Chain A
Amino acid sequence: MAGLGINLIYLIAHIINFLLLLWLLKRFAYRPVLRMLEERRRRIEEGLKAADLAREEAARQRAELEKQLEEERRKAQERIAAATRQVEELREKILAEAREEAERIIAEAREQAQQERERILQEARRQIADLSLLLAQKVVGESLDEKKQHQLIEKFLAGEL
Protein backbone atom coordinates (compact mmCIF):
# COMPACT_ATOMS: atom_id res chain seq x y z
CA MET A 1 0.00 0.00 0.00
CA ALA A 2 2.80 2.41 0.84
CA GLY A 3 4.39 1.60 -2.51
CA LEU A 4 1.21 2.75 -4.24
CA GLY A 5 1.22 5.86 -2.10
CA ILE A 6 -1.93 5.08 -0.17
CA ASN A 7 -1.68 6.83 3.15
CA LEU A 8 -4.43 7.19 5.71
CA ILE A 9 -3.69 10.86 6.41
CA TYR A 10 -3.71 11.78 2.73
CA LEU A 11 -6.83 9.75 2.20
CA ILE A 12 -8.66 11.49 5.02
CA ALA A 13 -7.44 14.86 3.76
CA HIS A 14 -8.87 14.11 0.32
CA ILE A 15 -12.16 12.87 1.78
CA ILE A 16 -12.54 16.02 3.87
CA ASN A 17 -11.61 18.18 0.92
CA PHE A 18 -14.13 16.52 -1.32
CA LEU A 19 -16.94 16.61 1.23
CA LEU A 20 -16.25 20.29 1.81
CA LEU A 21 -16.31 20.95 -1.91
CA LEU A 22 -19.51 18.95 -2.22
CA TRP A 23 -21.15 21.02 0.49
CA LEU A 24 -19.95 24.31 -0.95
CA LEU A 25 -21.11 23.49 -4.47
CA LYS A 26 -24.43 22.15 -3.24
CA ARG A 27 -25.02 25.25 -1.17
CA PHE A 28 -23.68 27.91 -3.53
CA ALA A 29 -23.98 26.41 -7.00
CA TYR A 30 -26.54 23.67 -7.46
CA ARG A 31 -29.26 25.03 -5.23
CA PRO A 32 -29.28 28.61 -6.62
CA VAL A 33 -28.85 27.43 -10.20
CA LEU A 34 -31.60 24.84 -10.02
CA ARG A 35 -33.85 27.34 -8.30
CA MET A 36 -33.03 29.89 -10.99
CA LEU A 37 -33.74 27.37 -13.73
CA GLU A 38 -37.05 26.53 -12.12
CA GLU A 39 -37.84 30.22 -11.74
CA ARG A 40 -36.95 30.85 -15.37
CA ARG A 41 -39.02 27.90 -16.51
CA ARG A 42 -41.95 29.21 -14.50
CA ARG A 43 -41.52 32.72 -15.91
CA ILE A 44 -41.37 31.46 -19.47
CA GLU A 45 -44.43 29.32 -18.90
CA GLU A 46 -46.24 32.30 -17.40
CA GLY A 47 -45.14 34.51 -20.26
CA LEU A 48 -46.38 32.06 -22.83
CA LYS A 49 -49.64 31.67 -20.99
CA ALA A 50 -50.05 35.44 -20.75
CA ALA A 51 -49.28 35.80 -24.45
CA ASP A 52 -51.88 33.17 -25.26
CA LEU A 53 -54.38 34.92 -23.07
CA ALA A 54 -53.64 38.28 -24.62
CA ARG A 55 -54.01 36.81 -28.06
CA GLU A 56 -57.34 35.30 -27.15
CA GLU A 57 -58.46 38.54 -25.56
CA ALA A 58 -57.44 40.49 -28.64
CA ALA A 59 -59.30 38.10 -30.89
CA ARG A 60 -62.34 38.32 -28.66
CA GLN A 61 -62.24 42.12 -28.65
CA ARG A 62 -61.79 42.19 -32.35
CA ALA A 63 -64.77 39.96 -32.87
CA GLU A 64 -66.77 42.15 -30.55
CA LEU A 65 -65.73 45.30 -32.35
CA GLU A 66 -66.60 43.76 -35.65
CA LYS A 67 -69.97 42.81 -34.29
CA GLN A 68 -70.48 46.36 -33.04
CA LEU A 69 -69.39 47.74 -36.36
CA GLU A 70 -71.82 45.46 -38.15
CA GLU A 71 -74.56 46.59 -35.79
CA GLU A 72 -73.73 50.24 -36.43
CA ARG A 73 -73.71 49.65 -40.13
CA ARG A 74 -77.06 47.93 -39.94
CA LYS A 75 -78.51 50.77 -37.85
CA ALA A 76 -77.20 53.38 -40.24
CA GLN A 77 -78.70 51.47 -43.13
CA GLU A 78 -81.99 51.36 -41.28
CA ARG A 79 -81.84 55.04 -40.54
CA ILE A 80 -81.14 55.85 -44.14
CA ALA A 81 -84.00 53.65 -45.21
CA ALA A 82 -86.30 55.32 -42.66
CA ALA A 83 -85.22 58.76 -43.81
CA THR A 84 -85.78 57.83 -47.42
CA ARG A 85 -89.20 56.53 -46.55
CA GLN A 86 -90.03 59.71 -44.65
CA VAL A 87 -88.88 61.87 -47.50
CA GLU A 88 -90.96 59.81 -49.87
CA GLU A 89 -93.97 60.20 -47.62
CA LEU A 90 -93.39 63.91 -47.32
CA ARG A 91 -93.12 64.20 -51.04
CA GLU A 92 -96.31 62.26 -51.49
CA LYS A 93 -98.01 64.42 -48.95
CA ILE A 94 -96.79 67.65 -50.45
CA LEU A 95 -97.76 66.46 -53.86
CA ALA A 96 -101.17 65.42 -52.64
CA GLU A 97 -101.68 68.76 -50.93
CA ALA A 98 -100.57 70.62 -53.99
CA ARG A 99 -102.93 68.60 -56.12
CA GLU A 100 -105.78 69.25 -53.72
CA GLU A 101 -104.97 72.95 -53.65
CA ALA A 102 -104.88 73.07 -57.40
CA GLU A 103 -108.18 71.25 -57.62
CA ARG A 104 -109.64 73.55 -55.05
CA ILE A 105 -108.43 76.61 -56.92
CA ILE A 106 -109.77 75.24 -60.15
CA ALA A 107 -113.10 74.42 -58.52
CA GLU A 108 -113.24 77.86 -57.01
CA ALA A 109 -112.44 79.47 -60.31
CA ARG A 110 -115.02 77.35 -62.01
CA GLU A 111 -117.62 78.33 -59.43
CA GLN A 112 -116.69 81.98 -59.73
CA ALA A 113 -116.95 81.74 -63.46
CA GLN A 114 -120.29 80.03 -63.10
CA GLN A 115 -121.50 82.76 -60.74
CA GLU A 116 -120.17 85.39 -63.01
CA ARG A 117 -121.96 83.77 -65.92
CA GLU A 118 -125.18 83.56 -63.94
CA ARG A 119 -124.79 87.10 -62.85
CA ILE A 120 -124.08 88.26 -66.41
CA LEU A 121 -126.93 86.17 -67.66
CA GLN A 122 -129.19 87.72 -65.04
CA GLU A 123 -127.99 91.11 -65.97
CA ALA A 124 -128.44 90.40 -69.61
CA ARG A 125 -131.92 89.07 -68.97
CA ARG A 126 -132.87 92.17 -67.08
CA GLN A 127 -131.46 94.45 -69.77
CA ILE A 128 -133.12 92.42 -72.44
CA ALA A 129 -136.36 92.71 -70.45
CA ASP A 130 -135.90 96.47 -70.05
CA LEU A 131 -135.05 96.83 -73.70
CA SER A 132 -137.96 94.67 -74.78
CA LEU A 133 -140.23 96.67 -72.50
CA LEU A 134 -138.95 99.83 -73.97
CA LEU A 135 -139.38 98.35 -77.41
CA ALA A 136 -142.86 97.18 -76.60
CA GLN A 137 -143.80 100.64 -75.23
CA LYS A 138 -142.54 102.17 -78.30
CA VAL A 139 -144.36 99.59 -80.47
CA VAL A 140 -147.58 99.42 -78.50
CA GLY A 141 -147.57 103.02 -77.54
CA GLU A 142 -149.30 102.42 -74.46
CA SER A 143 -147.62 102.06 -71.31
CA LEU A 144 -148.47 99.53 -68.93
CA ASP A 145 -147.72 100.36 -65.51
CA GLU A 146 -144.32 99.37 -64.60
CA LYS A 147 -145.34 96.82 -62.07
CA LYS A 148 -147.58 94.98 -64.44
CA GLN A 149 -144.95 95.03 -67.05
CA HIS A 150 -142.38 93.38 -64.87
CA GLN A 151 -144.86 90.72 -63.95
CA LEU A 152 -145.38 90.03 -67.57
CA ILE A 153 -141.70 89.88 -68.29
CA GLU A 154 -141.15 87.56 -65.38
CA LYS A 155 -143.88 85.32 -66.70
CA PHE A 156 -142.41 85.49 -70.14
CA LEU A 157 -138.98 84.67 -68.98
CA ALA A 158 -140.28 81.83 -66.86
CA GLY A 159 -141.77 80.47 -70.02
CA GLU A 160 -145.33 80.80 -68.87
CA LEU A 161 -146.42 82.91 -71.82
Chain B
Amino acid sequence: MRQFLKPRTIVIVLAVLLIMGGSAVLLRVPMPAIVLPPEPVACIGGHLAEGPHGLECEGGFPLTNSMLGTLLADISLLALVFFGLRNMQLVPTGLQNLVEAVIEAGYGVAEDVAGKENAPKFFPLAMTIFLFVLIANWWELVPGMEAFGWLVEVQEKGWEKAPLLGDNIYMLVREPGHYVVLPWFRTATTDLNLPLALALITMVYVQYAGFRALGLGYLKKFINFSSPMDFFVGVLESISEVAKIVSFTFRLFGNIFAGTVLLFVMPFLIPLFAPLPFFGLEVFVGFIQAFIFAMLALSFLSTAVIAHDHEGH
Protein backbone atom coordinates (compact mmCIF):
# COMPACT_ATOMS: atom_id res chain seq x y z
CA MET B 1 0.00 0.00 0.00
CA ARG B 2 2.88 2.31 0.87
CA GLN B 3 4.45 1.61 -2.48
CA PHE B 4 1.23 2.28 -4.28
CA LEU B 5 0.87 5.65 -2.61
CA LYS B 6 4.17 6.97 -3.95
CA PRO B 7 3.82 10.54 -5.20
CA ARG B 8 4.58 9.50 -8.74
CA THR B 9 1.76 6.96 -8.77
CA ILE B 10 -0.67 9.49 -7.42
CA VAL B 11 0.31 11.96 -10.10
CA ILE B 12 -0.18 9.35 -12.83
CA VAL B 13 -3.59 8.34 -11.50
CA LEU B 14 -4.68 11.93 -11.27
CA ALA B 15 -3.44 12.64 -14.80
CA VAL B 16 -5.33 9.65 -16.16
CA LEU B 17 -8.49 10.69 -14.37
CA LEU B 18 -8.04 14.21 -15.68
CA ILE B 19 -7.57 13.00 -19.24
CA MET B 20 -10.60 10.78 -18.92
CA GLY B 21 -12.74 13.60 -17.54
CA GLY B 22 -11.39 16.08 -20.05
CA SER B 23 -11.96 13.73 -22.95
CA ALA B 24 -15.56 13.19 -21.82
CA VAL B 25 -16.09 16.93 -22.05
CA LEU B 26 -13.94 17.83 -25.06
CA LEU B 27 -14.02 14.79 -27.36
CA ARG B 28 -17.72 14.53 -27.81
CA VAL B 29 -18.24 11.27 -29.67
CA PRO B 30 -21.69 10.64 -31.03
CA MET B 31 -23.37 7.35 -30.24
CA PRO B 32 -23.76 5.10 -33.28
CA ALA B 33 -27.27 4.00 -34.10
CA ILE B 34 -27.81 0.55 -32.63
CA VAL B 35 -29.74 -1.49 -35.15
CA LEU B 36 -30.60 -5.14 -34.71
CA PRO B 37 -31.19 -6.26 -38.32
CA PRO B 38 -28.37 -6.08 -40.83
CA GLU B 39 -28.79 -3.29 -43.36
CA PRO B 40 -28.15 -3.49 -47.07
CA VAL B 41 -25.36 -1.14 -48.07
CA ALA B 42 -25.17 -2.14 -51.70
CA CYS B 43 -27.31 -3.93 -54.19
CA ILE B 44 -26.03 -6.29 -56.87
CA GLY B 45 -28.16 -5.96 -59.99
CA GLY B 46 -30.56 -3.46 -58.45
CA HIS B 47 -30.46 -0.23 -56.57
CA LEU B 48 -30.81 0.96 -53.00
CA ALA B 49 -33.93 2.86 -52.13
CA GLU B 50 -35.63 4.25 -49.06
CA GLY B 51 -38.06 1.70 -47.67
CA PRO B 52 -40.23 1.56 -44.58
CA HIS B 53 -37.27 0.13 -42.58
CA GLY B 54 -34.48 2.32 -43.88
CA LEU B 55 -32.56 1.48 -47.05
CA GLU B 56 -33.78 -1.50 -49.03
CA CYS B 57 -32.57 -3.29 -52.10
CA GLU B 58 -34.91 -3.24 -55.01
CA GLY B 59 -34.70 -5.90 -57.66
CA GLY B 60 -31.35 -7.36 -56.95
CA PHE B 61 -29.21 -9.22 -54.46
CA PRO B 62 -28.75 -7.19 -51.29
CA LEU B 63 -25.31 -6.91 -49.88
CA THR B 64 -25.61 -6.16 -46.18
CA ASN B 65 -23.01 -4.64 -43.93
CA SER B 66 -22.79 -7.90 -41.99
CA MET B 67 -22.12 -9.76 -45.24
CA LEU B 68 -19.23 -7.40 -45.89
CA GLY B 69 -18.07 -8.10 -42.33
CA THR B 70 -18.32 -11.80 -43.12
CA LEU B 71 -16.24 -11.28 -46.24
CA LEU B 72 -13.62 -9.48 -44.17
CA ALA B 73 -13.49 -12.45 -41.83
CA ASP B 74 -13.34 -14.88 -44.78
CA ILE B 75 -10.60 -12.97 -46.52
CA SER B 76 -8.49 -12.50 -43.42
CA LEU B 77 -8.84 -16.16 -42.48
CA LEU B 78 -8.07 -17.39 -45.98
CA ALA B 79 -5.17 -14.95 -46.26
CA LEU B 80 -3.74 -16.29 -43.02
CA VAL B 81 -4.04 -19.84 -44.32
CA PHE B 82 -2.72 -18.88 -47.75
CA PHE B 83 0.36 -17.04 -46.53
CA GLY B 84 0.91 -19.57 -43.78
CA LEU B 85 0.70 -22.66 -45.97
CA ARG B 86 1.75 -21.27 -49.34
CA ASN B 87 5.15 -22.88 -49.16
CA MET B 88 4.89 -25.65 -46.63
CA GLN B 89 8.15 -26.83 -45.13
CA LEU B 90 8.87 -29.91 -43.10
CA VAL B 91 10.56 -27.62 -40.62
CA PRO B 92 7.96 -24.89 -40.11
CA THR B 93 8.73 -21.24 -39.49
CA GLY B 94 6.73 -18.13 -38.69
CA LEU B 95 3.17 -18.11 -39.89
CA GLN B 96 3.23 -21.76 -40.91
CA ASN B 97 4.09 -22.58 -37.32
CA LEU B 98 1.12 -20.58 -36.07
CA VAL B 99 -1.37 -22.07 -38.50
CA GLU B 100 -0.10 -25.58 -37.85
CA ALA B 101 -0.08 -25.11 -34.10
CA VAL B 102 -3.69 -23.87 -34.13
CA ILE B 103 -4.89 -26.70 -36.36
CA GLU B 104 -2.95 -29.28 -34.38
CA ALA B 105 -4.35 -27.99 -31.09
CA GLY B 106 -7.86 -28.05 -32.58
CA TYR B 107 -7.37 -31.59 -33.80
CA GLY B 108 -6.14 -32.58 -30.34
CA VAL B 109 -9.30 -31.18 -28.77
CA ALA B 110 -11.43 -32.91 -31.40
CA GLU B 111 -9.72 -36.20 -30.60
CA ASP B 112 -10.29 -35.69 -26.90
CA VAL B 113 -13.97 -34.92 -27.31
CA ALA B 114 -15.02 -37.11 -30.23
CA GLY B 115 -12.52 -39.93 -29.93
CA LYS B 116 -9.89 -41.11 -32.38
CA GLU B 117 -12.20 -42.60 -34.99
CA ASN B 118 -14.76 -39.79 -35.15
CA ALA B 119 -12.29 -36.90 -34.92
CA PRO B 120 -11.42 -36.83 -38.66
CA LYS B 121 -15.12 -36.60 -39.54
CA PHE B 122 -16.13 -33.91 -37.07
CA PHE B 123 -12.93 -31.91 -36.93
CA PRO B 124 -13.34 -29.80 -40.11
CA LEU B 125 -16.76 -28.43 -39.16
CA ALA B 126 -15.82 -27.66 -35.56
CA MET B 127 -12.47 -26.14 -36.53
CA THR B 128 -14.01 -23.98 -39.24
CA ILE B 129 -16.69 -22.77 -36.86
CA PHE B 130 -14.05 -21.90 -34.30
CA LEU B 131 -11.71 -20.10 -36.68
CA PHE B 132 -14.43 -18.27 -38.58
CA VAL B 133 -16.34 -17.15 -35.48
CA LEU B 134 -13.11 -16.16 -33.75
CA ILE B 135 -11.88 -14.02 -36.61
CA ALA B 136 -15.34 -12.56 -37.20
CA ASN B 137 -15.64 -11.69 -33.50
CA TRP B 138 -12.23 -10.10 -33.35
CA TRP B 139 -13.00 -7.82 -36.27
CA GLU B 140 -15.26 -6.11 -33.75
CA LEU B 141 -12.13 -4.81 -32.05
CA VAL B 142 -10.63 -3.15 -35.12
CA PRO B 143 -10.98 0.59 -34.69
CA GLY B 144 -13.22 2.18 -37.30
CA MET B 145 -14.87 -1.14 -38.16
CA GLU B 146 -18.37 0.30 -37.84
CA ALA B 147 -17.46 3.97 -38.05
CA PHE B 148 -17.59 4.48 -41.82
CA GLY B 149 -20.68 4.23 -43.93
CA TRP B 150 -23.46 5.99 -45.74
CA LEU B 151 -24.97 9.07 -44.18
CA VAL B 152 -28.67 8.38 -43.67
CA GLU B 153 -31.35 10.86 -42.76
CA VAL B 154 -33.67 9.88 -39.93
CA GLN B 155 -36.67 11.51 -38.29
CA GLU B 156 -35.43 11.27 -34.72
CA LYS B 157 -32.51 10.15 -32.53
CA GLY B 158 -29.96 11.36 -35.05
CA TRP B 159 -26.92 13.62 -34.92
CA GLU B 160 -25.85 16.72 -36.73
CA LYS B 161 -23.41 16.38 -39.62
CA ALA B 162 -20.31 18.45 -40.19
CA PRO B 163 -18.19 18.62 -43.36
CA LEU B 164 -14.97 16.64 -43.04
CA LEU B 165 -13.28 16.34 -46.45
CA GLY B 166 -14.48 17.90 -49.66
CA ASP B 167 -18.14 18.32 -50.38
CA ASN B 168 -19.49 14.82 -49.93
CA ILE B 169 -17.67 13.52 -46.89
CA TYR B 170 -19.13 14.34 -43.52
CA MET B 171 -18.68 13.38 -39.94
CA LEU B 172 -21.31 13.26 -37.26
CA VAL B 173 -21.04 15.57 -34.28
CA ARG B 174 -22.70 15.20 -30.93
CA GLU B 175 -25.59 17.58 -31.52
CA PRO B 176 -29.15 16.38 -31.87
CA GLY B 177 -29.96 16.26 -35.56
CA HIS B 178 -31.31 14.07 -38.32
CA TYR B 179 -28.40 11.94 -39.49
CA VAL B 180 -26.98 8.55 -38.59
CA VAL B 181 -24.24 6.44 -40.15
CA LEU B 182 -25.20 3.27 -41.90
CA PRO B 183 -21.89 1.38 -41.46
CA TRP B 184 -20.44 -0.41 -44.47
CA PHE B 185 -18.94 -3.09 -42.31
CA ARG B 186 -20.51 -4.75 -39.35
CA THR B 187 -19.16 -7.49 -37.09
CA ALA B 188 -20.53 -10.56 -38.81
CA THR B 189 -21.65 -12.36 -35.69
CA THR B 190 -23.87 -9.47 -34.60
CA ASP B 191 -26.20 -10.36 -37.44
CA LEU B 192 -28.59 -13.05 -36.20
CA ASN B 193 -28.54 -14.71 -39.62
CA LEU B 194 -24.93 -15.82 -39.21
CA PRO B 195 -25.24 -17.60 -35.85
CA LEU B 196 -28.52 -19.06 -37.07
CA ALA B 197 -26.85 -20.30 -40.25
CA LEU B 198 -24.06 -21.90 -38.23
CA ALA B 199 -26.54 -23.44 -35.78
CA LEU B 200 -28.64 -24.86 -38.63
CA ILE B 201 -25.62 -26.31 -40.40
CA THR B 202 -24.37 -27.82 -37.16
CA MET B 203 -27.69 -29.37 -36.13
CA VAL B 204 -28.41 -30.67 -39.63
CA TYR B 205 -24.97 -32.24 -39.66
CA VAL B 206 -25.61 -33.69 -36.20
CA GLN B 207 -28.74 -35.45 -37.51
CA TYR B 208 -26.86 -36.60 -40.61
CA ALA B 209 -24.00 -37.99 -38.51
CA GLY B 210 -26.51 -39.73 -36.25
CA PHE B 211 -28.29 -41.40 -39.16
CA ARG B 212 -25.02 -42.35 -40.75
CA ALA B 213 -23.69 -43.94 -37.61
CA LEU B 214 -26.86 -45.64 -36.35
CA GLY B 215 -29.07 -45.93 -39.42
CA LEU B 216 -32.80 -45.75 -38.75
CA GLY B 217 -32.06 -46.68 -35.14
CA TYR B 218 -31.14 -43.03 -34.66
CA LEU B 219 -34.86 -42.20 -34.85
CA LYS B 220 -35.43 -44.23 -31.69
CA LYS B 221 -33.94 -41.32 -29.83
CA PHE B 222 -36.95 -39.21 -30.84
CA ILE B 223 -39.80 -41.66 -31.51
CA ASN B 224 -39.95 -44.53 -29.10
CA PHE B 225 -43.11 -46.44 -28.26
CA SER B 226 -41.52 -49.08 -26.05
CA SER B 227 -42.84 -47.38 -22.91
CA PRO B 228 -44.71 -44.17 -22.07
CA MET B 229 -41.62 -42.93 -20.31
CA ASP B 230 -39.42 -43.46 -23.38
CA PHE B 231 -42.03 -41.83 -25.57
CA PHE B 232 -42.02 -38.76 -23.37
CA VAL B 233 -38.22 -38.67 -23.35
CA GLY B 234 -38.31 -38.87 -27.14
CA VAL B 235 -40.61 -35.86 -27.32
CA LEU B 236 -38.28 -33.95 -25.02
CA GLU B 237 -35.29 -34.92 -27.17
CA SER B 238 -37.02 -33.60 -30.27
CA ILE B 239 -37.77 -30.32 -28.56
CA SER B 240 -34.22 -30.10 -27.27
CA GLU B 241 -32.81 -30.42 -30.79
CA VAL B 242 -34.76 -27.29 -31.77
CA ALA B 243 -33.82 -25.60 -28.52
CA LYS B 244 -30.18 -26.27 -29.29
CA ILE B 245 -30.48 -24.29 -32.51
CA VAL B 246 -32.03 -21.39 -30.63
CA SER B 247 -29.49 -21.48 -27.82
CA PHE B 248 -26.58 -21.75 -30.25
CA THR B 249 -27.87 -18.75 -32.17
CA PHE B 250 -28.66 -16.46 -29.30
CA ARG B 251 -25.65 -17.31 -27.17
CA LEU B 252 -23.24 -16.21 -29.88
CA PHE B 253 -25.34 -13.35 -31.18
CA GLY B 254 -26.18 -12.02 -27.72
CA ASN B 255 -22.64 -12.02 -26.43
CA ILE B 256 -21.08 -10.36 -29.43
CA PHE B 257 -23.89 -7.92 -30.03
CA ALA B 258 -23.74 -6.87 -26.37
CA GLY B 259 -19.98 -6.53 -26.79
CA THR B 260 -20.29 -4.17 -29.73
CA VAL B 261 -22.89 -2.10 -27.90
CA LEU B 262 -20.51 -1.93 -24.95
CA LEU B 263 -17.73 -0.78 -27.24
CA PHE B 264 -20.09 1.88 -28.68
CA VAL B 265 -21.27 3.15 -25.32
CA MET B 266 -17.93 3.39 -23.53
CA PRO B 267 -16.32 5.89 -25.94
CA PHE B 268 -19.62 7.75 -25.96
CA LEU B 269 -19.34 8.20 -22.18
CA ILE B 270 -15.56 8.51 -21.75
CA PRO B 271 -13.57 8.40 -25.00
CA LEU B 272 -10.08 7.88 -23.60
CA PHE B 273 -8.72 5.06 -21.38
CA ALA B 274 -12.13 3.92 -20.11
CA PRO B 275 -12.89 1.66 -23.14
CA LEU B 276 -9.51 -0.13 -22.82
CA PRO B 277 -10.50 -2.80 -20.28
CA PHE B 278 -13.60 -3.53 -22.32
CA PHE B 279 -11.52 -4.14 -25.41
CA GLY B 280 -9.55 -6.65 -23.36
CA LEU B 281 -12.77 -8.22 -22.18
CA GLU B 282 -14.05 -8.48 -25.75
CA VAL B 283 -10.89 -10.22 -26.92
CA PHE B 284 -11.65 -12.82 -24.30
CA VAL B 285 -15.40 -13.01 -25.01
CA GLY B 286 -14.78 -13.33 -28.74
CA PHE B 287 -12.47 -16.27 -28.12
CA ILE B 288 -14.69 -17.93 -25.55
CA GLN B 289 -17.81 -17.73 -27.71
CA ALA B 290 -16.01 -19.20 -30.72
CA PHE B 291 -14.61 -21.95 -28.53
CA ILE B 292 -17.97 -22.73 -26.91
CA PHE B 293 -19.74 -22.90 -30.26
CA ALA B 294 -17.16 -25.30 -31.66
CA MET B 295 -16.99 -27.42 -28.51
CA LEU B 296 -20.78 -27.75 -28.28
CA ALA B 297 -20.92 -28.70 -31.96
CA LEU B 298 -18.30 -31.36 -31.31
CA SER B 299 -20.02 -32.73 -28.24
CA PHE B 300 -23.46 -32.80 -29.92
CA LEU B 301 -21.90 -34.62 -32.85
CA SER B 302 -20.19 -37.17 -30.67
CA THR B 303 -23.30 -37.86 -28.58
CA ALA B 304 -25.40 -38.25 -31.74
CA VAL B 305 -23.28 -41.16 -33.00
CA ILE B 306 -23.57 -43.11 -29.74
CA ALA B 307 -26.41 -45.65 -29.69
CA HIS B 308 -29.17 -44.90 -27.14
CA ASP B 309 -30.11 -48.39 -26.09
CA HIS B 310 -31.73 -49.61 -22.95
CA GLU B 311 -28.52 -50.84 -21.43
CA GLY B 312 -28.36 -48.12 -18.85
CA HIS B 313 -31.99 -48.37 -17.73
Residues of chain B lying within 8 A (CB to CB) of residue A17: 67, 70-71, 74
Number of A-B contacts (CB under 8 A): 103
B53 to chain A, nearest CB (A): 8
Chain A residues bordering chain B, tally (CB within 8 A) = 31
A11 to chain B, nearest CB (A): 5
Indicate if A110 sits at the interface (CB-CB under 8 A). Answer: no
Indicate if A43 sits at the interface (CB-CB under 8 A). Answer: yes
Q: Tell whether A30 pairs with B193 under 8 Å between CB atoms, given A18-B198, A40-B90.
A: no
Q: Check if B81 sits within 8 Å of A25, measured CB to CB.
A: yes
Q: Check if B191 sits within 8 Å of A25, measured CB to CB.
A: no
Q: B96-104, B174-182, B280-288: which lies at the A interface?
A: B96-104
**Which A residue sits closest to B57, measured CB to CB?**
A9
Residue in A18, A32, A39, A43 whose CB lies within 8 Å of B197: A18
Q: Tell whether A15 pairs with B36 under 8 Å between CB atoms, given A33-B99, A40-B90.
A: no
Q: Check if B64 sits within 8 Å of A33, measured CB to CB.
A: no
Q: Check if A33 sits within 8 Å of B104, measured CB to CB.
A: yes
Q: Check if A5 sits within 8 Å of B193, measured CB to CB.
A: yes
Q: Tell whether A4 pairs with B36 under 8 Å between CB atoms, given A15-B200, A22-B124.
A: yes
Chain B residues bordering chain A, tally (CB within 8 A) = 40
Specify the main secondary structure of chain B where it touches its partner: helix
Q: B127-135, B140-148, B269-277: which lies at the A interface?
A: B127-135
A31 to B276, CA, bound (A): 39
Residues of chain B lying within 8 A (CB to CB) of residue A14: 67, 70, 191, 193-194, 196-198
Indicate if B219 sits at the interface (CB-CB under 8 A). Answer: no
Residues of chain A lying within 8 A (CB to CB) of residue B99: 29, 33
Q: Check if B67 sits within 8 Å of A28, measured CB to CB.
A: no
A-B contact pairs, 8 of them (CB 8 A): A10-B38, A15-B201, A17-B71, A18-B128, A25-B128, A33-B104, A36-B90, A37-B100
Which residue numbers of A lie inside 8 Å of B, CB to CB?
A: 2-7, 9-11, 13-15, 17-19, 21-22, 24-26, 28-30, 32-34, 36-37, 39-40, 43
